[in-house]
Amino acid sequence: MAPSSSSAVAVLRQLEAALDWPALRPAEAADGEQAGESGPVFLKGNQRTGLFHVRREDGLGEGVLITGQEGTDPAAEDTWGPLPLDLFA
């Protein structure tokens, strides 16, 4: 949850660099466009698919949510956050 798509992607790149994660690629939206540069957005990344989606979203606030999903060990699944957008800067 970030104030713009460009800031959301910048935070994603900082997180990937800090945790040595492979870079996710943007997924095309149904209309062929990602969310516009202005206005609040929600970015959802999926390491399994290697893609991230950005959508315009109002009213969620700002921050990073990290959710772990492990099909073989449900006890390892959890969500952390919201963490500050500049935590990994």
| Statement: the pTM of the whole predicted model exceeds 0.85 | no
- 24-53 pLDDT, tens digit per residue, is 999 976 554 455 556 899 999 998 899 999
How many structural domains does the chain have? Answer: 1
Whether residue 89 is contained in a domain is answered as no
The secondary element (H helix, E strand) that includes residue 82 is: strand 78-83
Structural domain boundaries, residue 18: 5-83
Mean pLDDT value of segment 59-79: 83
Whether residue 26 is contained in a domain is answered as yes
Strand duo 64-68 + 78-83: pairing? antiparallel
Q: What is the pLDDT confidence band of residue 61, given thresholds at 50, 70 and 90?
A: confident
> Poorest-confidence range of 2-6, 20-24, 35-39?
35-39
3-state secondary structure of 42: strand
Which one has a higher pLDDT value, 55 or 73? 55
Whether residue 88 is contained in a domain is answered as no
